[in-house]
Structure 1
Amino acid sequence: MALQRMAVYTLQKVKLSESDHGENRKPQEDGLLRKTLFNLTMSQTGKKSSSDGETTPQAPLVNESIRGSKSRFPKAGSRKESIDSKTTDSQPQDKTLKTISLDATKTLTSETELGSRMEENEQFLQKLCRKAVSKCLDLNNCRQTTADVRDTDLEKLDISWNDVTRGNLHVLTQQMHLVSKLKILRLSSCRCTADDVWALGEAIKVLPELEELNLSWNSKVGGNLPLILQTLQQGSKIQTLELMDCTLTSEDGVFVGQLLPRLQNPEVLDVSINRNIGGSLNSIAHGLKSTSNLKVLKLHSCGLSQKSVKLLDAAFRYLRELRTLDLSCNKELGGGFEDIAGLATLEHLEGLDVRQCSMTADDVFHVTPDVLTAQVIPLLSSLQELDLSANKEMGSYSENLLSRLRFLPALKSLIISNCALESKTFTALAEASIHLPALKIVNLSWNKCIGGNLKLLLETLKLSMSLQVLRLSSCSLVTEDMALLASVIQTGHLARLQKLDLSYNDSICEAGWTIFCQNLWLLKELTELDISLRPSTFRKCGQWFRHLISAVTKLPKITEVATKRWLLPASQEEELQGFDQDHRSSIHFDHGGFQEADFPRLN
């Protein structure tokens, strides 16, 4: 009996507490699951074991009258799956549940094999979680209950991060012709084998409605991409293609370039962490010219070169709808941004990531040329996220670039971590940031020049009423900086702050930590705080630690507090232990357990 209709099921790794192991499931539900799993195990094993030309009757994959019941394919999805079907006949549920073929049991090679399979099913059942929403039966939240899902066709299938899928994907793909309305297929990190890749290629033939395909983190896809996708016809409906870290070859890159014009309306292309496709970027860039509706392009860590920038620049002129561009971690890009103009045509661009691209002084100049000529940054007025991190040459030459940030009024996330900023460039940044009222995330970590100069950001901290994340790790902050920060907190200008990172600022004295901790309790939205010392440093806690404990008890949303490598006297260690016992369920205090007695030379 064919599986006609199914609900969406999602299978992803989740961390389960002991209380999640089946407590919330009803006994009758587990019974249905066991029967369905046994049924599927029998049917698939039966097909493999039949001999002498005989055809073994197959038990139904899922009993068609069950609503809200769960199942999984044996070994194809090791964690959790769910199948829900709409029946084409009116047979009662109890009768349908008894349709497991007795003939199939005879095809098992041994009782040991059966026991092994059922043991895997039991492990799966222990990690099962449920959530039913409209057409979606989501098994990713163990604390939800099951609701009836009626009259639904399978549209989304996600079995990512399931190692048991390895070598068994054919068990699933053999049924794909029964779910021809599938729109989303995610098989990320399933450790696919060469046989799995072949099976997947066969399955995609019968999925004409497929709109999203994610094969990321499967190394065997590399060198075999044409085998998987060559059957896609002109006008294919795939809009999202994600192939992150698939060990793609240069030939695969050429194929991607040839594939793009076949797609009807591609919107997302992610081929990140495939270092060998940089040599085939000419083909990819040519294919991008046929994707005028592309919204997301991610080429993170793809071995791009200076020449690659020019090839992409020619394609940018055709990507007028692009919203996200990720060129990060391509260290050979440095010096390639000269004489580019296509970037300025991306007027709808919202996210630009060029971190760790070895940008040179010339690159910075050509991105923001003299005010009398065409400028790139001012034309990107829709930009909301900008990451320039780990481009250390910017520290001396980015004054012009950073001053142009004032032309980005929609900017919400500004990350300039580890750029070796100097006094004049930091001053330019501080003056420009006053004109960025929408800022929610500011990360200036690992820029030593900020120490003693945080006052330059005072007006920004006062005006950024929406600021939620502030990271100043390893900025050589001093006591005066902490006093300034405390005053801003006291006046209520950081009322929405959720994450604050002040770690690795070892030069702050006890007075600085004291005044900060005395005002910390005013950050009512704070969820994460990090004031850890750098790995090579150990220091004794002063009286400020008691102010910290007192403040944390008054913060209703705090969940993470990191104070690594601070040494506690025995009395404060006891106080911390008492705190942990009182707040173990809601707050993780990451201290490391160091006491003064562990380091007698510091006493």
Structure 2
Amino acid sequence: MNQTRKKSSSDGETKPQTSFVDKFLRGSKLRSSKAESKSENNDLKTIDVQHSDETRNTATLDTDTSVTTEMELESSLEKNEQFLQKLGEKAVDKCLDLNNCRLSTADVREMVALLPSLPDLEKLDISWNDFVGGTLHSITEQMHVVSKLKSLRLGSCKLTTDDVRALGEALNALPELEELNLSWNSKVGGNLPLMLQKFQEGSKIQTLELVDCALTLEDGVFMGQLLPMLQSLEVLDLSINRNIGGSLNSIAQGLKCTSNLKVLKLQSCGLSQKSVKGLDAAFRYLGELRKLDLSCNKELGGGFEDSPVQLATLGRLEVLDLHQCSLTTGDVLSLTQVIPLLSSLQELDLSANKNVGSSSENLLSRLRFLPVLKSLLINSCALERETFTALAEASIHLSALEVFSLSWNKCVGGNLKLLLETLKLSTSLQVLRLSSCSLVTEDVALLVSAIQTGHLTKLRKLDLSYNDSICDEGWAIFCQNVWLLKELTELDISLRPSTFRDCGQWFRHLLCAVTKLPEITEVGMKRWILSASQEEELEHFDQHQSSSIHFDHGGFQ
């Protein structure tokens, strides 16, 4: 699994806001001012009653102390703000996000010094900072000063065994914790009980993410015992922990007690046919489940045979990911009975399951009963002409479809006409992927006809790569009309890694079209060879374009 490592703010974008430090400073001044006013009123009353020099001296002393305290606070907050500015970050409201900030050991010490100034902190994210590993104890020792913390994210911090132990001890100081992310820390594996044994029944944890943590069979057993205590759990991600497959029965038993669970991810967890049957028995207890990811479990095949009735009880399921699961003919037959009953389904991924193409005519034809389906991925399913025909007929009824991927299914080539009505009726379609589908020039002409008649106006991403059978005439027709897709942001017409071809005259039409596409940012044309004059045209284009458009036309990449 690839993880995009980007620095992000708490709300996903940078907005002009007053920093938390500024707000905190103003609040401190206001509280100090009120305190002084109250003190002054009390002093006046005291003077009226006692008229003593001692009281006046005390009032003066209190004022001096208040001023001194305020000055110390201002100095501390100024240092904290300097630290945040150095990292290009701000503490906004109740969130301190230092994700992927390349924190050094010295930065970690400064951050620890910052925590006492943030008593209302609710979210702390220091993920993707390698130097946190080995120093976490200095942070956990201060957890008591941020006892209102609700979210703690420590993904990919190179935590050591000592860090894991220290965190386990510190969790007692965080009674309000709702989210804990320890993903991509291999030392968590084998030490899970050391860390999470402090969780007691009634814990407020809602999200627990332990992706790629090298969890052991014993960790899986412990997780099964822990789950009944996590009554508020809504998101559980144990993906890429291949050794817990043998403990799935224990985990499944624990899942029966997590009736509030909404997201369950077990991608690449070594699930077997037997463990899937055990997991299926837990589904009837998970009535709130919205997302189920069992993908990349190649030993899963056969686990859905014999009518998995319990899967059909997930009436609120919105996302079902079964890609690369070695589904058998029996699995496909059972899913044919179940999937049409999942009327809330919005995303379905059956990619990289060869038997879907050879035995799924009934399954694909019954997709018409999923009225709110937005994403349908059937990449590399070895579709045959009959199953593709069934899919094309069903897709006409998928009016909400936004993402449609048929890549790596050769039978699409020469048969795209079967999808023409779908393309004309899909007013919501934003992503269309037809990579390596053996498309021919006639297919491109049909696609262009749909574009010319005003359809596909919402299309944002179009992938026609690895279709080497399209001749220059076909590319010319396409490039002359692609400008009609006004919302297009990404276009890929790259060739196969083993193929290199000279660009035809259509390249000029492509450059012209791009100037009329206000949203376009990426044009993939790998292994198309530009002539010297075409290179000059592209260079001239780059120099005179105000927007940032990347033409990817390198060699082997």
TM norm structure 1: 0.77
Q: Which position in structure 2 is the counterpart of 1:96?
A: 73
> What does residue 332 of structure 2 align with?
364
1:353 correspondence with 2:346: no
After superposition, the C-alpha distances for 1:441-462 in whole angstroms (9 at most, x for unaligned) are: 0010000000010010011111
- Match of 2:94? 135
Structure 2 equivalent of residue 526 of structure 1: 488
Cα pair distance change 1:66/1:565, threshold 3 Å: farther
- Tell me what 1:38 maps to: none
Task: Specify the SS of the correspondent of 1:276.
Answer: helix
- Counterpart amino acid of residue 203 in structure 1: A
TM alignment of 1:375-414, pairs within 5 A: 375-414=337-376
Q: 2:509: which partner in 1?
A: 547
After superposition, what is the alpha-carbon deviation per residue over 1:463-508, rounded to whole angstroms, capped at 9, x for unaligned?
1101000000000000001001111111111101000000000000
Deviations 1:296-337 (A, max 9, x none): 000000000000111011000111110000000000011121
Counterpart CA distance in 2 for 1:153 and 1:265 is: 22
1:179 aligns with 2:150: no
Question: Matches of 1:299 and 1:593 in 2, distance apart?
Answer: 37
C-alpha change, 1:245 and 1:138, in structure 2 (3 Å) is: closer
Residues 93, 560 of structure 1: CA spacing in aligned structure 2 closer, same or farther, 3 A cutoff? Answer: farther
Label 1:257 to 1:15 Cα distance change in 2 as closer, same or farther (>3 A). Answer: closer
CA contact (8 A) 2:99 2:128 kept: no
Alignment gaps of 5+ in structure 2: 10-15, 31-64, 102-116
> 1:135 Cα shift?
3.5
Conserved 8 A contact 1:13-1:162: no
* Aligned CA distance change for structure 1 residues 140 and 228 (closer, same or farther; 3 Å): closer
CA distance in structure 1 between the partners assigned to 2:539 and 2:442 by the alignment = 32
Aligned pairs (5 A) from 1:17-96:
94-96=71-73
Report the equivalent of 1:435.
397
Match of 2:124 in 1: 157
Q: Deviations over 1:274-300 (max 9, x none)?
A: 000000001000000001111000000
Decide which of 554, 563, 568 is 2:530's aligned counterpart: 568
Cα displacement string for residues 178-197 of structure 1 (whole angstroms, at most 9, x for unaligned residues): 11111111101111011111
Deviations 1:320-363 (A, max 9, x none): 11000000000001112112111000000000000000001111
- The one-letter code matched in structure 1 to 2:330 is D
Letter in 1 for 2:329: A
Deviation, 1:126, is 5.0
Cα pair distance change 1:577/1:438, threshold 3 Å: same
Q: Is residue 241 from structure 1 mapped to residue 208 from structure 2 by the alignment?
A: yes
Does 2:302 match 1:335? yes
How far apart are 1:25 and its partner, in Å? 13
Q: Is the 8 A contact 2:231 2:260 kept in 1?
A: no
Residue 136 of structure 1 and its aligned partner are, at CA, apart by 3.6
Inter-CA distance 66–578: structure 2 relative to 1 (3 Å threshold):
farther
Report the Cα distance in structure 1 between the residues aligned to 2:29 and 2:130, rounded to whole angstroms.
28
> Cα distance, 1:89 vs. partner?
6.7
Mapped contact 2:98–2:126 kept (Cα < 8 A): no
Consecutive unaligned residues in structure 1, runs of 5 or more: 1-11, 17-23, 34-61, 68-87, 101-117, 143-149, 369-374, 595-603
> Residue deviations 1:422-459, cap 9 Å, x none?
10000000000001000000010000000010010011
Match for residue 477 of structure 1?
Answer: 439
Quick one: structure 1 residues 583 and 211, their matched pair in 2 at CA, closer, same or farther if it must change by over 3 Å?
same
- Identify the structure with the greater helix proportion: 2
Q: Distance in 2 between matches of 1:561 and 1:525?
A: 14
Are the equivalent residues in 1 in contact too, given 2:94–2:123 (CA < 8 A)? no
CA contact (8 A) 1:66 1:93 kept: yes
Q: Give the structure 2 partner of residue 103 of structure 1.
A: none
SS of corresponding position for 2:424: helix
> Match of 2:139, as an amino acid?
L
Identify which of structures 1 and 2 has the higher relative contact order when contacts are C-alpha pairs closer than 8 Å and 6+ apart: 1
In the superposition, relative to structure 1, how do residues 475 and 350 fare at CA in structure 2: closer, same or farther (>3 Å)?
A: same
The residue number in structure 2 matching 1:289 is: 256
Instruction: Evaluate the alpha carbon distance shift between residue 275 and residue 463 of structure 1 in structure 2; reply closer, same or farther with a 3 A threshold.
Output: same
Structure 1 segment 225-236 matched on structure 2, within 5 A: 225-236=192-203
Task: Give the 5 Å matches for 1:506-517.
Answer: 506-517=468-479
Q: CA 1:165–1:138 in structure 2 vs 1: closer, same or farther (change >3 Å)?
A: closer
- Give the aligned residue type for 1:347: G
Q: Size of the alignment, in residue pairs?
A: 491
Aligned equivalents of 1:386, 1:331: Cα separation in 2: 18
- Aligned-residue RMSD, C-alpha: 2.9
Preserved contact between residue 187 and residue 216 of structure 1 (Cα < 8 Å): yes
| Deviation readout 1:237-259 (Å, 9 max, x if unpaired) | 10111100000000000111111
TM-score in terms of structure 2 length: 0.83
Question: Take 1:423 and 1:527, find their aligned partners in 2: how far apart are those partners?
Answer: 32
CA contact (8 A) 2:383 2:409 kept: yes
Query: CA, structure 1 residues 403+209, in 2 after alignment: closer, same or farther (shift >3 Å)?
Result: same
1:14 maps to 7
Give secondary structure in 2 for the equivalent of 1:376: helix
Amino acid at match of 1:193: T
Letter in 1 for 2:94: K
CA contact under 8 A between 1:65 and 1:92: conserved in structure 2? no
